[in-house]
Structure 1
């Protein structure tokens, strides 16, 4: 296929729905997340025979008799199998005739919330599992959801995950009672409205028995909606970042021997938003220098236009001072240059925030020294109210102000996820202590 035809095909892809869906499972401990993924893989024929044979002989399986423990398909660590919990994020891949999927099985334990944040950061959809046997029903008709259900829903909202599927699991334990399901769904929808989640899809199922996961179940005849796999296949996923202004964090400056007549200087990286064409005007941020695009190179040759997601080398007509950590941005819609960052952060470290300490802030390819100047408010997971605080502990979510030693070129997270996200790193231990989402305005 010629370069022109490739570019035409790429441009047409921008107007179509993306066929790949990335989703995560979330919820509290023992809600059935790993079992649900195992059931999806098993019923959709996404398991190799040797994998099936291996888990059927596993010493830590928690099922009776010859029944296969499907949770072992994702709980691969020895500690996970011994304790019957998920600790790390496990990624699995499978496909149906309609769509390809990447699943992230994330932990339910509050202690491992940071791993859930990692898996959720690139997800298009989240399946929030609710174990019907753990929900508390009050005599006054009230329904109390678990704190982890609320925490994971809050994180999904902060991370701008587009689709939320509420899987009311283990319906077999309540004899598939529709009244129980309806009360749980009403309670969650009330919380979702308070949180600001818009696209919520409730569904009753039993991951262990396979009811309503891939096939409809007579036990849930009162439910007239799609099965879980049909719902996942139908979700509309469009990359909004195609429509956003051009953003290109520079990863590497590529040069060969400058004494040669054909001296080469290119800027390598991945396009995180928008598109770029030869002849376009760009601005180098945060310095503010202007330039025009001379060439766009890949391993397969030069391109006239490149789009979000492509890794390319960009050549400019002008000689300007550019290094790793700088950003090439659209000249007419540049990023915002910040010396002070307002952001929502999820604190991921067991060591509390110390405002006297210096941290490293990693934003795209740029790493700068930073200090948390102030904590505006702490978010209460249960009530969604914000209140004052003077420190942050493990799993706290708060709005903070951060001063950085060198300016950042950034966007609001709710506009461009790639250039609106960052992490904070402990300069002594090099551990990631917080994940942040930049808020502007």
Structure 2
């Protein structure tokens, strides 16, 4: 699974690999020129909705497939615009590796890094790493706009590398690829422009993707498939969902438990890239047609699991969080949005339990009055409704969280304890 940022190279990368038909691309070029958006023709291959094309930005997660020498790649084209970070998070949760698109042009890179606070490049990098995506390809795009300058590439790399290390990325897990998407330079074949080859002899983007290490697949644990979206499909039937299998496997005609509703359903059809499958395993991004269940019980943010191993459901959690570069302190009572796998729920900060030493994890102070930038802490949160969740130590895919307030990510963390209803009742008694 690969998540890619909102840059034209995402589409261009797939074209020579048979991902899109020339007839459709010709149609996109014609229609985009008619609307005065000729440069968006490639982006339209993934941005298919009228709203996306009108605004010229990616708003939802687009899905495409292509093959390299070593991998069958599921490409998730995720939004880069700050208004659609929650949708970007949905793409991150399904990814094994990421391509972070960086604009090399003067001013654009600096804007992404953020002059005051955290820019979109920084926020996306932090979110990607916090969701457990260890391997990162930094695609430094629009190198043609700076004359393929080695000095500009080195500057971008040096500035961004400092931040990536602070996020926890290892230098050995980061690949840096200078390219120009619009003219197909260093995209799917080695660079040819002498202004680039005179100082860069590394992989093109496609080879960098093909060089990623194989992802770990946990097929031995029970089935866990967070529902990314409830979809409309004539082929799949009235009730259909899509998502990535995080653990275990699933077969046609088998029974699954749909949480948090706790309702049983039968797997009618399994599809991957519109091809029928009898079985899918951990790591597969699939669409499933269900039967024997009322559609009201199936929702984005829910989880399909083995009937004998239901995931936990709760509205009260203990979290270990790292506060990001915020300007306003976090106080008990703060209202925010909590994001976890594909679930998004309103929540409030019930209690700051303790302040932690970031290096050792030991408590520095109990019940601090507030949290400021770069603080690590244990907190308790109350959710507006119950969500499917597990402690991070038990199931990482259901144990990572993001806290967002007023359109910005204020903290990232993991679930350290899932409070059961009995615990909540006793606490208030």
- Write out per-residue CA displacement over residues 185-206 of structure 1, whole angstroms, 9 at most, x where no aligned residue: 1111111111111221111001
- Shift of residue 407 of structure 1? 10
- Counterpart of 2:216 in structure 1 is 239
- After superposition, the CA RMSD in angstroms is 5.3
- SS in structure 1 of the partner of residue 38 of structure 2: coil
Partner deviation per Cα, 1:261-300 (whole Å, 9 max, x = no partner)? xxxxxxxxx9854699xxxxxxxxxxxxxxxxxxxx9999
How far is 1:155 from its partner?
Answer: 0.3
- 1:60 is matched with 35
**In the alignment, does 2:13 pair up with 1:24?**
no
Task: Choose from 179, 185, 188 the match for 1:214.
Answer: 188
Counterpart residue number, 2:149? 177
Cα distance change of structure 1 residues 250 and 164 upon mapping to structure 2, 3 Å threshold: closer
Distance 1:87 1:134, change over 3 A: farther
Compared with structure 1, are the counterparts of its residues 246 and 129 closer, same or farther at alpha carbon in structure 2 (3 Å cutoff)?
Answer: same
1:116 and 1:250 map into 2 onto residues whose CA distance is: 16
Q: CA deviation at 1:100?
A: 1.6
1:41 aligns with 2:14: yes
Inter-CA distance 434–248: structure 2 relative to 1 (3 Å threshold): farther
Within 5 A, what are the aligned runs for 1:142-291? 145-146=113-114, 147-198=119-170, 199-219=173-193, 220-221=196-197, 222-242=199-219, 246=222, 272-273=246-247
Change (3 A) 1:371 1:169: closer
The structure-2 alpha-carbon separation of the partners of 1:23 and 1:344, relative to structure 1 and needing over 3 Å to count, comes to farther
Following superposition, the deviation at residue 357 of structure 1 comes to 10
The answer to whether the Cα contact below 8 Å between 2:3 and 2:95 also exists between their aligned partners in 1 is yes
C-alpha distance in 1 between matches for 2:370 and 2:322: 14
Question: Who is 1:69 aligned against?
Answer: 41
Alpha-carbon contact 2:400-2:415 (below 8 Å) kept: no
C-alpha contact 2:141 2:181 (8 A) present in aligned 1 = yes
- 8 Å Cα contact 2:222-2:306 kept in structure 1: no
Alignment of 1:134-145 (within 5 A): 134-135=106-107, 145=113
Q: Are 2:419 and 1:440 equivalent residues in the alignment? A: no
Does the 8 Å contact 2:217/2:283 carry over to 1?
no
Tell me, yes or no, if the aligned pair for 2:131 and 2:400 is still in contact at 8 Å: no
Report SS of the residue matched to 1:173.
helix
Q: 1:215/1:368 Cα in 2 relative to 1: closer, same or farther (>3 Å)?
A: closer
Correspondences of 1:326-337 after superposition (within 5 Å): 328=308
The change in CA–CA distance for 1:116 and 1:144 in structure 2 (over 3 A counts) is closer
| 1:342 maps onto 2:314 in alignment | no
Equivalent residue number for residue 424 of structure 2: none
The DSSP-based 3-state class of the residue aligned with 2:8 is helix
Tell me how far apart the structure 1 counterparts of residues 383 and 319 of structure 2 sit (CA, whole Å).
11
Distance 1:148 1:71 in 2: 19
Tell me: CA distance 1:360–1:115, structure 2 relative to 1, closer, same or farther (3 Å). Answer: closer
Rate the CA distance shift 1:115–1:195 in 2: closer, same or farther, 3 A: same
Q: 1:151 to 1:298 in 2, by over 3 A?
A: closer
Aligned to 1:288: none
TM-score, length of structure 2 as denominator length: 0.59
Q: Distance in 2 between matches of 1:37 and 1:404?
A: 36
Other-structure match for 2:84 = 112
Of the three residues 396, 399, 408, the one matched with 1:417 is 396
The alignment partner of 1:57 has SS state of helix
Q: What is the deviation of 1:361?
A: 8.8
Distance 1:154 1:39 in 2: 26
User: 2: CA distance between counterparts of 1:189 and 1:418?
Assistant: 27
In 1: Cα distance, 2:163 partner to 2:402 partner:
28
Aligned length: 329
What is the aligned partner in structure 2 of residue 11 from structure 1? none
**How far did 1:35 drift?**
0.9
Shift of 1:408: 9.1
Q: State how far apart, in whole Å, the 1-side matches of 2:99 and 2:47 are.
A: 18
Deviations along 1:307-347, one digit per CA (max 9) or x if unpaired, are 75799xxxxxxxxxxxx9998569xxx99999642154999
Deviation at 1:45, TM superposition (A): 2.8
Residues 89 and 119 in structure 1, CA contact (< 8 A), matched pair in contact too: yes
> Following the alignment from structure 1 to structure 2, what is the Cα–Cα distance between the partners of residues 369 and 80?
26
Shift of residue 179, structure 1, vs aligned partner: 1.3
Deviation at residue 208 of structure 1 after TM alignment: 0.9
Provide the C-alpha distance between the structure 2 equivalents of 1:328 and 1:132, rounded to a whole number of angstroms: 51
